[in-house]
Structure 1
Amino acid sequence: MNTRPEKMKEKLKPYEAKLRKLQERLFTGTTRHAGFTMLNLLIGFVGSGLILGFKPSNDISFLASCVYTVVTILTCAFLILRPIILMAQNRGQAVMSVVMQIAVTIAILSFIDTQGDMVIRSVEEHPQVAVAIIVGYFIAGHIYKLSSSFDIGHSEVAAGRMAVRIKKSPSERDLEIAAVHEAGHALIYAAAKEIPDTLKVELLDRFDRRGVLGSVSCEAENHSLLKKSEMEFNMYLCLAGMAAEKVRYGEFSAGSSNDLAQWNAQCELYLSNGFGEGHYLPNAATSFEREANAKIRTTLHSDQMFALSNFFGRNWKVLSELAGEIRNTKTLQGDQLKPYFNRVDVPKWLPEIDIEEAKKGEALSNNKNP
């Protein structure tokens, strides 16, 4: 039985396909979210032209005119620079976000043109009113943030404890995102020389008591002395779910804190052993050394997320089909995953590793939860 979101999704599919074709025609070879961000850049240029062409009337006061000019310049700069910055950070941006910025800016400029002088005169005559409005605005903002912390219907999963905002019955969107997340984790195993039968992808019908909705697990031999390639594989495995979400939706959802915690642990081990670029100091004592270490970690994280985004962009069809299969069947194991892995275009930077199946009684379950 189709739910309302599914019906809406079906109606929007033709428009989504047209936008995708336009993006591919304009920006050949880009990932989906990068293409849409480039499209947003073009919309930003057009919107900036509209805003710059929206001139105030001649009878507007000097002060109101200054406010009008500042709003115009800052908004146009924001419309153009934000997509560029997001692309540099390998992040996406929704088209509706840009359209709303343009519409709201034009509405604000129209208000300044017609009512700006009256507002400025009121502030000059009664400055205490302006102070009261500003204070009230910040108080209302804090009340809103406080109330939103008790929202129902959001998931926020943290490592080692149950999150405070867990909805026991997931929505259709929750399940769809979790399926994409787990498909991302699973596709990293395409780099393994042999796929162990213990590899399992699971999607639950509801959040468990830890706030987990899905997992990718593989029982493997627990080695303490990891090779460089094995640590790199583990780091890509940790970030894969987030990267898959970013390629699919332009951003990733709450629920990846456990993945990030595991990545940070692997990253510390990796850099402390002399791997990676830069001079990393495991026992940093000064603020300068700690800042240098943080920069190295941030660069490594950014580089790996960028590489994974390209990986999922090239394997977009396999990712989508595997996510759909996970969503429908709930559980996939070993041989069921191999047909998808055989179609994956595995890049050279993703290390090929040999996963040794755990000995009886010594299994290490390597879980990746959304």
Structure 2
Amino acid sequence: MNRFSLFLALTGLVFMTACSGDKGSNGPGPDPDQGATNRKALLTYTVDDIILPGYAAFKVKLDTLTARTNAFAAKPDADKLATLRQGWADAYVEWQKVELFDVGPANTQTLRYYFNIYPANATGIEDNLKADNPNLDLPNSYPRQGFPALDYLLNGVGANDAAILGKYTKDENAAQRIAYLKKVVSKMNLMLGLVISEWGNSRDKFVNCTGLDAGCSTSQLVNGYVLHYERYIRSGKIGIPSGAMTNGVAAPEKVEGFYKKDLSKLLAQTAQQAFVDFFNGKSRRTGSEGLSLKSYLNGLNAKDSKTGELLTTAILNQLDAAAKKLQPLKASLYDEINTNKAAVVDVYTEMQKVVRMLKVDMTTAMSITITYTDNDGD
């Protein structure tokens, strides 16, 4: 397991603290029953209009991926491989819209680690598929499964489509490779099912835990949200591959979607937009904006200390600045890092400004303590 994958897989485990009680302490900050700062209403809307519908939409894509995996496994051919690849790409893009829900059951089940620890460990995948019964719950198996593993299995095991298809039809390990492909997708279905089922059992407890202490839902939601941007969007998708966080030493091989390189920018853009939509409270049911971090901060009349404008305006403007730096890049961030690294580093620079606003200004205004740790000096 490479160092970056181990870092991503292990450092987030600090979020596994469960909500400490049905009510929790109100803690500092506004009365949770007052208007725009009603935390129970915010949590209820977030779960019912954003998180659960988001998982439902993702499940549709994952079900399609599963069906296409089974069809390919039953009779591997070029057409089924192409169809399966498209199902994988569609599900991977949809995953970007729910990965930020690292709270509640997704956090306790460490869902992200089963779906998207990259870069894939190709050597480990080859070892796993030859093993009698590889244990996908071990930390060293995180980069051997999920979307990155499927990327390798569908796009990276041969120099061209004919060679890749041969790995599933003629190779001495063809049967094991097919079995492992199915095992990876089956594990993804199992883990998503556990998370959705647990939400059914824990929803009421989650929305009633209205305190601002570290054990309750608003704090966990905000911590998970900020962590996602800092570590998995800013750092994982941009900062580490571009070298912006590694003293200028680029590592393009660490881009997301490495074997399907022209997907990497779309994954980053989708994750960025999903982050904005969550901030604005965009409903996955209706498409309209509702209760949100934005409405909560506006209810507090939180201001940017430098400009005096609403803090939400400053945050959204900076998120837009990062998106505008990302938009003109090539579809393949791998190619862009190799030929135009400075432009990718510029994206990181704008994202870093967002992190400071979220991690310091937003949490201070909300009286929430950051409970995770990092070592990059933010």
TM superposition score category, shorter chain reference? under 0.3
TM-score, length basis structure 1? 0.23
| Structure ranking higher in strand proportion | 1
| Structure ranking higher in helix proportion | 2
